[in-house]
Homo-oligomer: A and B are copies of this chain.
């Protein structure tokens, strides 16, 4: 418990390089904004991006990651299947995974959920309110009854995901939609949190409540220490059978 959590923040990192307005919001990239906050809150943070070799996610990196944060949008298809399988394998063996915003359509999230992860969306810069519906959940620590993001992309139901094991946030959008915005899952020995906010054209990842939720989720998703699960043939019954 005393050791620091080792976080890898993965970002597609294309919007920031191609669009000056987005670069102005996130001069260090979306990963840089999130990494900076987490470093200030006791985490050991590494970053990785799509255009690095192996997308920056070698087995060495993954083996030294307690919690992986994932932001992607326009280039999900360029993520190599073999890397996705390695991430998948690490999650099942205990690595935490936090999937942000448009990461709902990433290969790794769809692989873990088993569904299309499709949804409705609208870019109208409308107001979003995230209501806490799991009052005592550690991911809501330090968060009021709701918090508001002044301008965001709308995501609306039906969101084609498995029913969350715990639903922490429900979003209200000004234009008439709701969305399950904070969703907890366990898969194998790993924990997964999907968190909705974060369209690249808004300064969402500079907002304190959003960063606090991500930081809470990192703590929640940190692996437990247990011996490896064994599978397959188990020859010995507990005692002679009759």
Contacts and interface: CB of A to CB of B under 8 A. Distances in A.
B145 A231 contact: no
Interface stretch (A22-30, A45-53, A73-81, A132-140): A132-140
A238 B175 contact: yes
B224 A140 contact: yes
Contacts of A223: 136
How many copies of the shown chain assemble into the complex? 4
A116 interface: yes
A186 B134 CA distance: 8
Interface stretch (A6-14, A64-72, A158-166, A194-202): A158-166
Interface string A198-237: 0000000000000000000001000111110111111111
Nearest to A139: B224
Given A121-B232, A234-B122, A237-B122, A186 B144 contact: no
Contacts of A35: none
A208 B213 CA distance: 35
A233 B172 contact: no
Given A124-B237, A175-B237, A187-B114, A230 B157 contact: no
B229 A135 contact: yes
Interface in A98-154: 111-116, 118-122, 124-127, 129, 131-138, 140-146, 154
Contacts of A125: 241
Nearest to A95: B136
Contacts of A146: 157
Interface residues of A, number: 81
A215 to B, nearest CB: 11
A79 to B, nearest CB: 17
A86 interface: no
A134 to B, nearest CB: 7
Among A94, A113, A135, A231, max chain B CB count under 10 A is at A135
Contact of A116 (B92, B137, B145, B174): B92
Interface of A: 1, 92, 94, 111-116, 118-122, 124-127, 129, 131-138, 140-146, 154, 156-160, 162-163, 165-167, 170-178, 180, 185-191, 219, 223-227, 229-239, 241-242
5 contacts: A94-B136, A126-B237, A136-B223, A140-B226, A160-B231
